[in-house]
Amino acid sequence: MRNAETDAQQEKMLYREGKYTEALEILSKKKTDTIETLQLKALCKKETGEYEDAVSDIKGALRLCPTSAKLWETYGIVCGAKGDFLQAEKAYKNGLKHAPDAKELMRSISSLKILREDWEGLVSVEAEWKAKGAYNVVSELCLSFGAFMLGRKEDAHRHLACFTKEHFLIDETTGSEERKQIVAKSKRELIKYECQLLYDLGKYTEVLGLPKDKEDRIQDCLFVKEMKQRCLMETGQREHGLKIAAELVKENPYCLEYVKNGWVCFKSEGHGEMELYEKEMEEACPAAASTLERFCFSQAGQDTPAFERRAVSFVLRLLRKNSLSLYSLLTDTINHSTEKLFRVCEIMETTDAIRKYKDTTSYAYFFANVSELKGNHSDALRRCEEILRKDSRCVEAKLLLASRYSELGETAMSIETARSALEDDPGQRDVRVMLARYQIRAGKHREALGTLFEGRDISEEEMELELKYTQAWWYFHELGMYFEGIGDIETAVSFYRTNTDAAEEVSRPSPIVWNLFREVRICDAIRFCQEKAAVYTDELCLKSVHRLLEIESAGAARGAVEKQL
């Protein structure tokens, strides 16, 4: 008996430590499968990605004890992990039949509603449980979130008020230092979310009348000032709004949005001259001169003398620094308008003061990018080669050249050029990722791994995190294709699945509400992070989903496909 108990404790300890394979080795040696053994097997296999086997094990446990709410919960967890959200919800509901007051099952159902973007369903189930007396303060946050997503801002604010009333009673002066920070930060985010809701509801005076203790708690003077400036504008207090706008520009002179807000205030006061605004704001905040120049340039019409004057000033300032950022900064400033860009090119080619810099790297690199945009690839190649003859260590020119070689199908040249760029600047992560991508296209997967991880011997988990960090989810799709090509379908599926997960991770938005959910530490129950994850913007991610379906791994792909549709 003692040995059986010791084994059981060891298995659970291994599971808690994340050593799922070791736990499964011990479990597989048991002569008979008990309910506890089958449940732990299912949980371990869920973690190792063996979803079908995990389902089989937990179903076996349910056959032995069909009235166990805990087993139904485990069944739901396994189904949710493999993307079968409908079956997961059914499992949780079956669990509730046997344990009507099990709040963890209710939270899991709410989580699935959010995963499936079923906002009406979320509000409905939370209201139903609240009416039955199965109340949990988190329900108020769920109801607030659901109402917010349905556009019912009044309801969202009412439920938020109920949640904050109880949440603010939590003592943030006791417990560990980590706990204190978590509680304090969650309260700050709640106040910010409340301010945003009040603004959306048009309750500007309430935002302006934010109690001093709440304002101090936010500890984000820029957020407070920005909210107040917007509310002052809405309530007609434009002079005061302009004053705060100027303060914001002073505190962050490189923020284009603050300069724009200041102009809106200035113009609403009856001043229509942008030059006057630029002069007054520059006198108040000299550090904002370049930001003001960018903003005024962006507002000028391309056929006006002001546009030409500002284009010359803008371009000359960067050419004097021989800045290779001229193209990217210019296109950002003119909102990627090709008409304005080509007009700037005309101005540059006909202005003597600018043409004096035509032999600089900055000038040549700018026009290489313009040629690439126009589809004149041979000219882009020529200009890049000219740059490299003068400056053999120009990383930017090498990257543009490598990209051109890759598109022409000259894979070896693209790899050689990108590798040369990496040797010149080994610390630049973007260069490393680009080289790895060309190596993958050439089928050199081991070399790509060495490039990405600098030859380090790292675990699978570290590799996944690193690839997500670099937003290189395309890598997973490429590896999926490779393993499918050599007949290793199981490994291919795991990479296709990881590709969709990785794209989800980096494409999800981070609004104030999500910060709130994360800091309150209920993200496992309230998966708000999935709000927009269905909108996959990366083409390769969609291809991975399609491949999952084509090789009959519908279970793994179902969740992603449902959301995509």
Q: Which of 27, 39, 93 is nearest to 63 (CA)?
A: 39
288-297, Cβ contacts within 8 angstroms, sequence gap of 24 or more = 288/249, 288/250, 288/253, 288/254, 288/259, 290/254, 290/317, 291/249, 291/253, 291/254, 291/255, 291/256, 291/259, 292/259, 293/317, 294/256, 294/329, 294/333, 295/256, 295/259, 295/260, 295/263, 297/333, 297/334
Q: Letter for the amino acid at 226?
A: E
Q: Determine, yes or no, domain membership for 344.
A: no
**pLDDT value at residue 456:** 60
Are 475 and 436 contacting, i.e. CB atoms less than 8 angstroms apart?
Answer: yes
Q: Which residues contact 303 (CB under 8 A, 6 or more apart)?
A: 343
- Rounded to the nearest 10 degrees, the angle between the axes of helix 539-550 and helix 554-564 is 140
Q: Determine, yes or no, domain membership for 143.
A: no
SS in 3 state form for 217-240? HHCCHHHHHHHHHHHHHHCCCHHH
**pLDDT value at residue 200:** 79
3-state SS class at 421: helix
Rounded distance, CA 6 to CA 469, Å? 41
Q: Specify the DSSP element, H or E, that contains 281.
A: helix 274-284
Rounded distance, CA 524 to CA 519, Å? 12
Are 308 and 272 contacting, i.e. CB atoms less than 8 angstroms apart?
Answer: no
Prediction pTM value: 0.51
**CA 319 to chain CA mean position, Å:** 35
Q: Which of 58, 54, 118, 62 is nearest to 85 (CA)?
A: 118
Q: Determine, yes or no, domain membership for 190.
A: no
**pLDDT value at residue 176:** 65
**Domain range holding 70?**
1-100
110 half-sphere exposure, CB direction, 13 A CA radius:
30
**CA 249 to chain CA mean position, Å:** 27
Rounded distance, CA 492 to CA 547, Å? 9
Q: Determine, yes or no, domain membership for 27.
A: yes
Are 27 and 15 contacting, i.e. CB atoms less than 8 angstroms apart?
Answer: no
Q: Letter for the amino acid at 326?
A: L
Q: Which of 70, 100, 130 is the last residue of a domain?
A: 100
Q: Determine, yes or no, domain membership for 400.
A: no
Give 376-410 as a DSSP string: -HHHHHHHHHHHHHH-TT-HHHHHHHHHHHHHTT-
Q: Which of 78, 100, 122 is the last residue of a domain?
A: 100
Give 465-510 as a DSSP string: HHHHHTT-THHHHHHHHHHHHTT-HHHHHHHHHHHHHHHHHHH---
**pLDDT value at residue 319:** 93
Rounded distance, CA 122 to CA 148, Å? 12
Can you say whether residue 508 is alpha, beta or left, with left for phi > 0 and alpha for psi between -120 and 50 degrees? beta
**pLDDT value at residue 129:** 78
468, 469, 471, 474 alpha-carbon torsion, rounded to 10°: -40
Are 397 and 388 contacting, i.e. CB atoms less than 8 angstroms apart?
Answer: yes
- Rounded to the nearest 10 degrees, the angle between the axes of helix 474-485 and helix 539-550 is 30
Q: Which of 79, 100, 121 is the last residue of a domain?
A: 100
Are 560 and 116 contacting, i.e. CB atoms less than 8 angstroms apart?
Answer: no
Rounded distance, CA 421 to CA 430, Å? 11
Rounded distance, CA 547 to CA 497, Å? 10
The pLDDT tens digits along the chain (565 residues) read 445 555 567 777 777 777 777 888 888 877 777 888 888 888 888 887 788 888 898 899 999 899 999 999 999 988 888 778 888 889 999 998 998 888 778 878 877 787 777 788 888 888 887 777 765 666 777 777 777 777 787 887 777 777 666 666 556 566 667 666 666 666 676 777 777 778 878 888 887 887 777 766 665 567 777 788 888 878 888 778 778 877 777 777 777 777 777 777 776 655 557 777 777 777 777 777 777 788 888 888 888 888 998 899 999 989 999 888 899 888 888 888 889 999 999 999 999 999 999 999 999 999 999 998 888 888 888 999 899 998 888 998 998 899 888 878 888 999 999 999 999 988 777 788 788 878 877 877 677 777 876 766 555 555 555 544 444 445 555 566 656 656 666 666 666 555 545 444 433 322 333 333 333 323 322 232 233 233 333 344 444 444 444 443 333 333 433 343 3
Rounded distance, CA 355 to CA 82, Å? 61
Residue keyed to tokens 């371990």: 44
Q: Specify the DSSP element, H or E, that contains 305.
A: helix 305-320
Are 235 and 191 contacting, i.e. CB atoms less than 8 angstroms apart?
Answer: no
How many separate domains does the chain show?
A: 2
Rounded distance, CA 560 to CA 3, Å? 44
Can you say whether residue 519 is alpha, beta or left, with left for phi > 0 and alpha for psi between -120 and 50 degrees? alpha
Residue keyed to tokens 């099952």: 105
3-state SS class at 556: helix
Q: Determine, yes or no, domain membership for 3.
A: yes
Can you say whether residue 276 is alpha, beta or left, with left for phi > 0 and alpha for psi between -120 and 50 degrees? alpha
Q: Determine, yes or no, domain membership for 554.
A: yes
CATH number at residue 43: 1.25.40.10
Residue 222 to residues 24, 217, 227, 246, 260, Cα–Cα distance (Å): 53, 13, 9, 12, 15
Q: Determine, yes or no, domain membership for 5.
A: yes
